[in-house]
Amino acid sequence: MQNNAKKILVAMHLGNGYGSQPGAWRMPGVDPESFTNFDVMVKQAQAAERGKLHFLFFPDGPASERDIETQPPGPNIDVMMTMAAIARETKRIGLVATGSTTFNEPFNLARHFKALDVMSHGRAGWNAVTSSTDDTAAYYGKRIPSSEERYGRAHEMIQLMQALWGSWGKDAWVHNKENSEFTKKGAINAINLQGEYVGASGPLYVPPSAQGQPVIVHGGGSPNAHELAGRFANVVVGATFTIDDARAQRKAFRDAAKRYSRDPDEIKFFAGLMTTIAKDRRTALDRRIQLTESNFPERVAYLQRMLGIPLDINRLNEPLNQAQLTNARPSPYDPRSAHALKIAKEGWSLRDIIAHGVIDYHPVIVGPGVEAADHMQEWFEAGAVDGFWITPDVNADGIDAFVDEVVPILQQRGLFHEDYEGETFRANLGVPDQYGIDPRIMNHKNK
Amino acid sequence: MQNNAKKILVAMHLGNGYGSQPGAWRMPGVDPESFTNFDVMVKQAQAAERGKLHFLFFPDGPASERDIETQPPGPNIDVMMTMAAIARETKRIGLVATGSTTFNEPFNLARHFKALDVMSHGRAGWNAVTSSTDDTAAYYGKRIPSSEERYGRAHEMIQLMQALWGSWGKDAWVHNKENSEFTKKGAINAINLQGEYVGASGPLYVPPSAQGQPVIVHGGGSPNAHELAGRFANVVVGATFTIDDARAQRKAFRDAAKRYSRDPDEIKFFAGLMTTIAKDRRTALDRRIQLTESNFPERVAYLQRMLGIPLDINRLNEPLNQAQLTNARPSPYDPRSAHALKIAKEGWSLRDIIAHGVIDYHPVIVGPGVEAADHMQEWFEAGAVDGFWITPDVNADGIDAFVDEVVPILQQRGLFHEDYEGETFRANLGVPDQYGIDPRIMNHKNK
């Protein structure tokens, strides 16, 4: 590939500060207080920036899914406050935090994200999610609204927040001491938008950032997600297990962008990838066994259903026998099943099959860095993705492992940039700056 | 006074980064981009910490009060994000930010403030204010609720937020890698409080900070404010112009605390004080004239009403004449009027009378540091205050002026501490740590 050809975009998921695997917090070299230690989170962000990764990504959501007596909560302690800390101690990496469109007021969220964008000199992104679980609603003493209401409100939230972000025109902030002109006359505008769910007068008293305003990020794969992202997003973080499915998802988002008269290249589709990088497959599998052993009984039970055959928890050290392999039928209800059977047929022990991460949230690399690079290259060259969001098993050394073992291979293959292209998140993503208020927003009556 | 005697507490109001006076942003040495320059705000915070001041204080509110074409907005760009930046680059100073009880969800605000408390190692405080203007409500596309509703919601907000903050017991977070105990069994509790205005299930997934949970701060002087602060607050930021009034206000808050079975010494009353510190009165007045000249016409008009006599804007350089002084009657509707007349009788020119700050939000010192020290000593020894919140005219050099010219005099007189007493905001304020959920909150049915 030529040097100026399109390259893979890469994001790093930092989460709770420990890593994605339940045993991450107990690993040697991991500060058990990482959850509240902002030094640790800043160091991890700097490690990702050393690898020239495009952005940090903080999902958010209910913390009640895990057994808190033995495991840390999944979400970060507070995504906005963590990003504020990281913004001051990094220079180029993008900063994408999740904020609910369901349980925030547009003015409050718009102000936090625009301030983050200004303090990071144009590196902020907002992952706009609709909250969808009763657990999250209960945090607010509320019931979860219907899907129609949630997405209706989400469209209004993004419109209003973008309007607030654009309420200072590009050249509004003059701050000329000599002639006492702080802002340009007429260049700051009220919004006065009132939708069915939310409203705001504006203006928001925050000048444009170096990229104008934050990038909109969205996730999910439903028709509602296509419409929302197609209309507003520059980044989509997807969950997908096969090249064919990823290609179809990416196309759906690009098609949605076209329906909103946007250039489809302005919407970048990211697939998830979880990593356990080590010098060889065996070392990586052993590391993953150490990280996940407490979950083995439930995973064996689940693998039975994926393969449609009985499995024996007492035979973890043995490969599946010929009868099991012959009778196995990948479940049509779980897109990971075919891959699980493929691994089983390679002759790995039951323990090792599970340690390959065949029952995780995203495809998993358990092996040397070149395996991650191969996976990324294959998906990228198949037109399935614009980039990947990487979830390391253990942040403390998993980020460095990706940066040191995967990034150089991708660079050597001409698939990953040698340095940041620009100063802002939009410049590094390859999407246009955004200033002012989109006239379509002001003319569009919220439904 | 003895070394272990009670001493004056001091807070510093940083605001928009420029200072309180309209011309602050245009002064020599002031970065005209201070509003968005977090380096500047961090530097100002460090200056206040150098002076061992007890806390930084960020009010918040509608930005629409000022003429944005010639002056910066009054409020900080975003009080929480600014505090997050400052928390990482200071060590001991308290961090009090304002958050509306009217237009926030308890879970969101509780999470931000507890995260700030954790990241600052126990230095956060929440100035809980009820939003009261139509301008603020319009930011949210809403009407301002009635006073009853606003204070009803404020009581519920604080109860819920304190319950969320206390939902992890003091010893809940074990994080013992050896025995895989992340949190103590049964030490993390849901809240499940539902009031008339707000509700939350909890728990909030943030461990206790070094001081347990953030300090509650409140402002205002109404009976509603007395009840709210008496019940919950450790700090009250007041607005008052005379020793007698301040003493009465302080007593009202202390009495309210007693009604809620609290030790009145746990509620600290702070009066405002604005400062223009210079080597002598003349230099200070000239500095203030430079800072405020654009406002002179409206201030002369207002001073007429305060004194009940006609004043001539064309005679700014002349003192009031004998007839004016004889006919002047301090307005009973403005508590600053008597002081304005006193200054007028000292023979200052009309320009200088106004430059004394006789029409400002708080008492104003325009002169050498010893005048500020004298004012503070007099009020403190009269039992009118526990401390002061200082608003400098220009942050860039006004904070240093206070630290270098006022603090040493107070220290010499034994009225101000030589160093921080402890590591946390509560330790330095002299109020107890707070852990867990107050049983009175859980038993008290929200009205």
Domain ranges of chain A: 9-278+368-443, 281-355
pLDDT band at A9 (very low <50, low <70, confident <90, very high): very high
pLDDT at A203 over 60: yes
B38 touching A, CB under 8 A?
yes
A25 touching B, CB under 8 A?
yes
The predicted pLDDT at position A1 comes to 39
The predicted pLDDT at position B447 comes to 37
User: What is the ipTM for the molecules in this complex?
Assistant: 0.96
Among B26, B68, B175, the residue with its CB nearest the CB of A33 is B175
Mean pLDDT check: name the lowest of A2-16, B123-137, B270-284. Answer: A2-16
Instruction: Tell me the residue type at B2.
Output: Q
Chain-wide mean pLDDT for chain A?
Answer: 95
Q: List C-alpha distances in Å: B162 to B159, B165, B260.
A: 5, 5, 16
CB contacts of A114 in chain B (<8 Å) are 78
A window 77-116, beta carbon within 8 A of B: 77-78, 80-82, 84-85, 87-89, 103-108, 111-112, 114-116
B window 39-68, beta carbon within 8 A of A: 42, 63, 68
The predicted pLDDT at position B4 comes to 56
pLDDT band at A66 (very low <50, low <70, confident <90, very high): confident
CATH 3.20.20.30 fits A9-278+368-443, yes or no: yes
Contact B88/A38, CB-based, under 8 Å?
Answer: yes
Mean pLDDT check: name the lowest of A186-190, A308-312, A353-357, A383-387. Answer: A186-190
**A111, B149 in Cβ contact below 8 A?**
no
Among A85, A111, A139, the residue with its CB nearest the CB of B84 is A85
CB contacts of A177 in chain B (<8 Å) are 25-26, 30, 32
For chain A, what percent of residues have pLDDT higher than 70? Answer: 97
Contact B201/A105, CB-based, under 8 Å?
Answer: no
Neighbours of A146 (CB within 10 A): 9
Q: List C-alpha distances in Å: B89 to A116, A334, B43, B86, B419.
A: 17, 48, 9, 5, 18
- Interval B39-51 mean pLDDT: 98
Contact B118/A176, CB-based, under 8 Å?
Answer: no
Cα of B241 to nearest chain A Cα, Å: 31
- Interval B404-424 mean pLDDT: 98
Distance, CA of A160 to chain centre: 23
A207 touching B, CB under 8 A?
yes
A359: three-class secondary structure by DSSP: coil
pLDDT (tens digit, 9 = 90+) per residue, A167-198? 999 999 999 999 999 999 999 989 999 999 99
Neighbours of B290 (CB within 10 A): 16
Instruction: Output the pTM of the full model.
Output: 0.96
- Interval B311-336 mean pLDDT: 96
CB contacts of B70 in chain A (<8 Å) are 180-182
Residue B297's φ and ψ, nearest 5 degrees, are -55, -45
Chain-wide mean pLDDT for chain B?
Answer: 95
pLDDT (tens digit, 9 = 90+) per residue, A279-330? 999 999 999 999 998 889 999 999 999 999 999 999 999 999 999 999 999 9
Burial of A152 (0-12, 13-18, 19+ CB in 10 A): buried
pLDDT band at A221 (very low <50, low <70, confident <90, very high): confident
The predicted pLDDT at position B442 comes to 63
Contact A201/B89, CB-based, under 8 Å?
Answer: no
For chain B, what percent of residues have pLDDT higher than 70? Answer: 97
pLDDT band at A216 (very low <50, low <70, confident <90, very high): very high
Residue B299's φ and ψ, nearest 5 degrees, are -75, -35
Token duo for residue B320: 């009031």
pLDDT at A425 over 70: yes
Q: Which sign, positive or negative, has the C-alpha torsion A309, A312, A317, A323?
A: negative
Residue found under tokens 């969205």: A218
**A6, A383 in Cβ contact below 8 A?**
no
Q: Which sign, positive or negative, has the C-alpha torsion A243, A249, A252, A257?
A: negative
**A250, A386 in Cβ contact below 8 A?**
yes
Token duo for residue B296: 């002179």
Contact A105/B104, CB-based, under 8 Å?
Answer: yes
Write b or e for each residue in A289-321: b if 16 or more Cβ atoms lie within 10 A of its Cβ, otherwise e.
bbbbbebbeebbebbeebbebebeeeebeebbe
Instruction: Tell me the residue type at A72.
Output: P
- Interval A404-426 mean pLDDT: 98
A window 159-198, beta carbon within 8 A of B: 175-177, 180-185, 188, 193-195, 198
The predicted pLDDT at position A438 comes to 83
CATH 3.20.20.30 fits B9-275+368-443, yes or no: yes
The predicted pLDDT at position B440 comes to 73
The predicted pLDDT at position A445 comes to 45
Cα–Cα distance for residue pair A90/A48, rounded to 1 Å: 10
Residue B276 C-beta-side C-alpha neighbours within 13 Å:
27
Cα–Cα distance for residue pair A298/A66, rounded to 1 Å: 14
pLDDT band at B160 (very low <50, low <70, confident <90, very high): very high
